[in-house]
Amino acid sequence: MDLNSIYSQLIMEHNKSGHNKRHLPNPDITEKGHNPSCGDDITLELKLNGDIIENASFTGVGCAISQASTSMMIDLIKGITIEEALTLVKTFIGMIKKEIEDEKELEKLQDALVLQNISNMPARVKCAVLAWHTLKEALSDK
Amino acid sequence: MDLNSIYSQLIMEHNKSGHNKRHLPNPDITEKGHNPSCGDDITLELKLNGDIIENASFTGVGCAISQASTSMMIDLIKGITIEEALTLVKTFIGMIKKEIEDEKELEKLQDALVLQNISNMPARVKCAVLAWHTLKEALSDK
Amino acid sequence: MHKLNPEEIRKDFPIFKQRIQDNRLVYLDNGATTQKPMQVINAINNYNQNSHGNPHRGAHQLSIRATEEYDLAKEKVRKFINARYIEEIIFTRNTTESINLIAYSCGKKLINKGDEIVLAISEHHSNILPWQRLVKENGGILKYIYLNEEGRISPEEIKRKITDRTKIVSIAHMSNVLGTIHPIEEIIDHAHKMGSIVVIDGAQSTPHMKIDIQKLDADLFVFSGHKMLGPMGIGVLYGKKEILEDMPPFLMGGDMIEYVYEQEATFAPLPYKFEAGTQNVEGAVGLGAAIDYLEKIGLDRIENHEKMLTEYALDRMLSLPYVSIQGPKDLEMRGGLISFTIDDIHPHDIATILDSYGVAIRAGHHCAQPLMRYLDVPATSRISFYLYNTKEDVDLFVEGIKNVRKWLGYGS
Amino acid sequence: MHKLNPEEIRKDFPIFKQRIQDNRLVYLDNGATTQKPMQVINAINNYNQNSHGNPHRGAHQLSIRATEEYDLAKEKVRKFINARYIEEIIFTRNTTESINLIAYSCGKKLINKGDEIVLAISEHHSNILPWQRLVKENGGILKYIYLNEEGRISPEEIKRKITDRTKIVSIAHMSNVLGTIHPIEEIIDHAHKMGSIVVIDGAQSTPHMKIDIQKLDADLFVFSGHKMLGPMGIGVLYGKKEILEDMPPFLMGGDMIEYVYEQEATFAPLPYKFEAGTQNVEGAVGLGAAIDYLEKIGLDRIENHEKMLTEYALDRMLSLPYVSIQGPKDLEMRGGLISFTIDDIHPHDIATILDSYGVAIRAGHHCAQPLMRYLDVPATSRISFYLYNTKEDVDLFVEGIKNVRKWLGYGS
Ligand SMILES: Cc1ncc(COP(=O)(O)O)c(C=O)c1O
Ligand SMILES: Cc1ncc(COP(=O)(O)O)c(C=O)c1O
């Protein structure tokens, strides 16, 4: 495995910057996600406006991959509809499972595209998908 | 393993003759012995006169080795004292366990000496010693 | 379908290189355990030499490889019995542990006072004792399906014993004493109509015939690796997903948990819930290689080969006036395993004397004392075939029987 | 006592022939599972190729040889831990199963409403969950011995927690997270005075130091083969004869019985009572060979070697300002296993990055969530040594840590 393809500049930036790591005032949705085998533990907060995700943030602990993946996801979903967000979740998980390989479709994932190679590291897949599963859970009854 | 040393003429004779295989009238002691893993199942009957074993017999089912060993033992113990019988039990079991190798001592076992080689057949040791353990049990509280 | 060539197959099995007191090794104790081809031995070696780590626990190469090997073996088992989902395959230590797990876990949920559990009288002790304990603890009732004179289960007996009071039916697919293949499709069908779940002990069938678990529709199905060319220490529990999900865990410990607090814990999803502690990865790898080997030869060809040997052996044995066969004498619904007795001669003497001719058979109660009592025999001798046995093996066995008679002073 | 030569020893272990992305394999995950020398691999092969049969069941050569090999392996285990009788050694599948057996069987007899069971907060999940279930079912109370700031158990805490209400104390000899060697002699002594029996989880200690079970006077003692150069799928339960004799069986089935009737059964004597179904003979043989290997090298030399490596590693690690050690920082009463954290970096990232340099370590909760919560860390990284590790391994590991920092954008 090529470390460069995983621990890329982008991941490092997201991991360290923490620009999405904070509490929202009066979030509409708060959803916890955890990964018992790793100890990764995040909480997503979402502010909705109709079916638009107006704002989003997260708190919690985890490895660089789960933290960066969460932060990247939040960058992506701010300002889009719930439906669009759920489609992104599908695309991301499809990418990790190697079920979606269409580059055009994957491009929509923007920064998160760098996590594509995580599928070669089975022990770390769970870290990458945690935030996305949590988001799906959060939006599932909306 | 040399079959001749186990399935000897003597064993065959004892196995087939059945001269000790019958019920005694009014036995003083009746003791069951069984070998769950083989299904061997014998009942010893003893007639005592003071501390002399006046008569003995057995009934039950089992392989040629257990049947012959039982019959040989009965030939040996008829007419001797309980103490002498218990000494023979020790000698026999000592022989099978290869703990007693003194020929003079072993000779006391007469016919039963042919069972010496059974110690090379671990799966059949239990067959050979069944009657002797049962006798010990029968006499233990006398 | 062309026949398999057992002499070619034997070359894969190093055990047959040896001679037993200058005799060919005639191994007819396959019902107890089977031998391993080089392909299985090499797979275990390869794992040990190149890929060993603790699976599911580490983020390093060896741990990842061990996890992959373990999961691959599971996928092979899934395909082998055509289970729907990989989570339906639990690795255990052997058939015995699989049934203990079921009796503990499923029994705990399903059996209350007065509920009935139905077994056949021909069950192996491993499919009797766990249920005896369960009914003793939970107040259930243990009932037995009896066999007819041919060693078969009749449709009437099925209906008589499996009723709407029945909660669990647990029955061997093939008897390890009589060789009878029980009518499990009918039993499963009737039991399901009565609202009972069905456990099938596939220890003797799985190695010798194609199992399609979805077609059979058994709720739970168990077998052992060591009876199908695989290693000891690895067994399988298959269960329908919805049934396994409902069952509480059996062994508790590492790797089967989600969260553990001082006073309580939550459990991991299937299949991990049932796999506590470090699993036997090399056992799983060996079993996977055994499945590859069996599938390369073809289960249907193996079954046919054993049928041919059984027919030949029954024929030769029945021609000896002092031999009696226990169980079905015809080939219909029976596997390649024959129990027999010889007039005036105890099974243990038969086994010992045959052994001196290099012929390995089994003698005793075959872990089925209730059946022996039902048949009213203290013990039987048993031969059981596998893909590496030949007609020559049968001939040497029959020669051996004649010698047994001579040794014990009877004419042949 | 002359030192052992790990570079010579490594030649016996085929796994070290490989390179991980062109790096030397630095295997520091011995607490999870250990690698096998050729001597163990060959012993398993020999058994499989020459002596495989179902033990205790047949009267033929292969069955007899398998029985002999199995019994010989048991005798090796008996001598290895200096147990008094061979019947005191029960083969299980692993430590986890051994503890489940004890909790089920011994617990059933000993624990009634209000009775206390005492564990340490540092226990492995396998030594927690079986007891949680037991107290839930039998109404007992589960208490924990806490550790002081150095990760040690104080004499006061022993007296506080183990009282005359205590019926069972179950505790690891050596912590698999902190490396602490617990004062089990004192614990056993005090517990016996209070009338409690003591179970020792020797999974982490037995591979690395000489165990004299009679001197220790533990009532029950358990460990796994795969952590001491042996195969997976084989574990040991030692118990004092009089205690084992009193315990009801756990797994039920073939070979552990005396008489079986339709509705009840009687059980075989020790050790068979606890060994249901076909046992893992090849696993036992492999464990026997592992013991031979360890004894040839000498447990005292292995312990010394690991002490040296631990001292060297602690020294180098403590010199890095961003590294924190969990557990004892001095060498007193600790084994060759070190848990640590690195400022700002999650253990999983450490493990993944080290792996790319060929350094295999473990990261996570180490199956000890209650301890992690007690220490208030979500996870740690862990290195653990064995006889084949070298100072070079430690150097490569420390180099690796520096690289981890660099990769994640921190100065070193
Ligand atoms: C202290 C301790 N106890 C128990 C276990 C469980 O051992 P196993 O997984 O072999 O059952 C381990 C290892 O994982 C351990 O380190
Ligand atoms: C029908 C049947 N069930 C169960 C078993 C027990 O299998 P194991 O000893 O592998 O647990 C056997 C074999 O011994 C068997 O033949």
Centroid of ligand 2 to alpha carbon of C60 (angstroms): 37
Mean pLDDT of chain B: 91
Distance between CA atoms of D9 and D34, rounded to whole angstroms? 14
C328 and C277 co-located in one domain: no
pLDDT band for position C148 (50/70/90)? very high
C125 and C210 co-located in one domain: yes
D79 and D220 co-located in one domain: yes
Is C181 touching ligand 2 by the criterion CB < 6 Å?
Answer: no
Q: B20-56 in b/e burial notation, b at 16+ Cβ within 10 A? A: bbeebeebebebebbbbbbbbbbbbbbbbeeeebebb
C46 and C11 co-located in one domain: no
* Mean pLDDT, range C136-160, rounded to an integer: 96
pLDDT band for position D317 (50/70/90)? very high
At residue A11, the pLDDT reads: 82
At residue C319, the pLDDT reads: 96
D118 and D189 co-located in one domain: yes
* Mean pLDDT, range C285-313, rounded to an integer: 98
Give the mutation target among C91, C126, C337 for probing the ligand 2 site: most ligand atoms within 8 A of CB. Answer: C126
D105 and D170 co-located in one domain: yes
Is C96 touching ligand 2 by the criterion CB < 6 Å?
Answer: yes
At residue C56, the pLDDT reads: 75
Are residues D257 and B36, on separate chains, in Cβ contact within 8 Å?
yes
Percent of chain D at pLDDT > 90 equals 92
pLDDT band for position D56 (50/70/90)? confident
Comparison of pLDDT for C221 and D412, the residue scoring more:
C221
Comparison of pLDDT for D296 and C57, the residue scoring more:
D296
Specify the pairing of strand C141-145 against strand C116-120: parallel
* Mean pLDDT, range C342-352, rounded to an integer: 94
At residue B122, the pLDDT reads: 82
Q: Could you report the per-residue pLDDT of C74-87, keeping only the tens digit for each? A: 999 999 999 999 99
Is C201 touching ligand 2 by the criterion CB < 6 Å?
Answer: yes
Q: Is the pLDDT of residue B2 over 90?
A: no
pLDDT band for position B35 (50/70/90)? confident
The residue to which tokens 């370590």 are assigned? D361
Domain borders along chain A are: 3-139
C289 and C302 co-located in one domain: no
D18 and D85 co-located in one domain: no
Mean pLDDT of chain D: 96
Comparison of pLDDT for A112 and D42, the residue scoring more:
D42
Here the tokens at position C201 are 């002990």
Specify the residue with its C-alpha closest to ligand 2, atom 7. Answer: C95
Here the tokens at position C322 are 């002092």
At residue A35, the pLDDT reads: 85
At residue A13, the pLDDT reads: 85
At residue C29, the pLDDT reads: 97
Percent of chain C at pLDDT > 90 equals 92
At residue A65, the pLDDT reads: 92
Q: Is the pLDDT of residue D346 over 80?
A: yes
Give the sign of the dihedral formed by CA D295, CA D301, CA D305, CA D310: positive
Are residues B122 and D58, on separate chains, in Cβ contact within 8 Å?
no
Q: Which of C263, C295, C327 is the last residue of a domain?
A: C295
Distance between CA atoms of C173 and C153, rounded to whole angstroms? 12
At residue A3, the pLDDT reads: 77
C240 and C117 co-located in one domain: yes
At residue D39, the pLDDT reads: 98
- Hey, what CATH topology would domain A3-139 get? Sufe protein. Chain: A (3.90.1010)
Q: Could you report the per-residue pLDDT of C43-58, keeping only the tens digit for each? A: 999 999 999 999 976 6
At residue A1, the pLDDT reads: 52
Q: Which of D250, D275, D295 is the last residue of a domain?
A: D295
At residue B140, the pLDDT reads: 87
* Mean pLDDT, range D226-233, rounded to an integer: 98
* Mean pLDDT, range B70-82, rounded to an integer: 96
Tell whether D1 is covered by a domain: no
At residue D359, the pLDDT reads: 97
D164 and D278 co-located in one domain: yes
Is C228 touching ligand 2 by the criterion CB < 6 Å?
Answer: no
At residue C11, the pLDDT reads: 97
D62 and D105 co-located in one domain: yes
CATH number for the domain that contains residue D10: 3.90.1150.10
Interface residues of chain B, partner chain D, Cβ below 8 Å: 36-37, 121-124
Q: Is the pLDDT of residue C90 over 70?
A: yes
* Mean pLDDT, range D88-106, rounded to an integer: 97
Task: Give Cα D112 distance to the centre of its chain.
Answer: 29
Distance between CA atoms of D285 and D278, rounded to whole angstroms? 14
Are residues C59 and A124, on separate chains, in Cβ contact within 8 Å?
yes
At residue C57, the pLDDT reads: 63
Least confident range from A97-106, B34-43, C351-360, D120-129: namely B34-43
Q: Could you report the per-residue pLDDT of D29-48, keeping only the tens digit for each? A: 999 999 999 999 999 999 99
Domain tally, chain C? 2
CA-nearest of D148, D151, D70, D124 to D366 is: D124
Q: Which of C255, C273, C295 is the last residue of a domain?
A: C295
At residue D314, the pLDDT reads: 97
CATH number for the domain that contains residue C53: 3.40.640.10
Q: If you write DSSP's letter for every residue of A28-86 in order, what string do you get?
A: SEEEEEEETTTTEEEEEEEEEETTEEEEEEEEEE--HHHHHHHHHHHHHHTTSBHHHHH
Q: Could you report the per-residue pLDDT of B52-75, keeping only the tens digit for each? A: 999 999 999 899 999 999 999 999
Task: Establish if D63 touches chain B: CB-CB under 8 angstroms.
Answer: yes
At residue B1, the pLDDT reads: 52
Give the position, in ligand 1's atom list, of the atom nearest the Cα of C278. Answer: 9
Centroid of ligand 1 to alpha carbon of D203 (angstroms): 5
What is the extent of the structural domain holding C365?
6-30+298-407
At residue C239, the pLDDT reads: 98
Centroid of ligand 1 to alpha carbon of C95 (angstroms): 24
pLDDT band for position D229 (50/70/90)? very high
Specify the pairing of strand D116-120 against strand D166-172: parallel
D254 and D133 co-located in one domain: yes
At residue A130, the pLDDT reads: 96
Here the tokens at position C306 are 């054993």
Q: Could you report the per-residue pLDDT of C1-29, keeping only the tens digit for each? A: 789 999 999 999 999 999 988 899 999 99
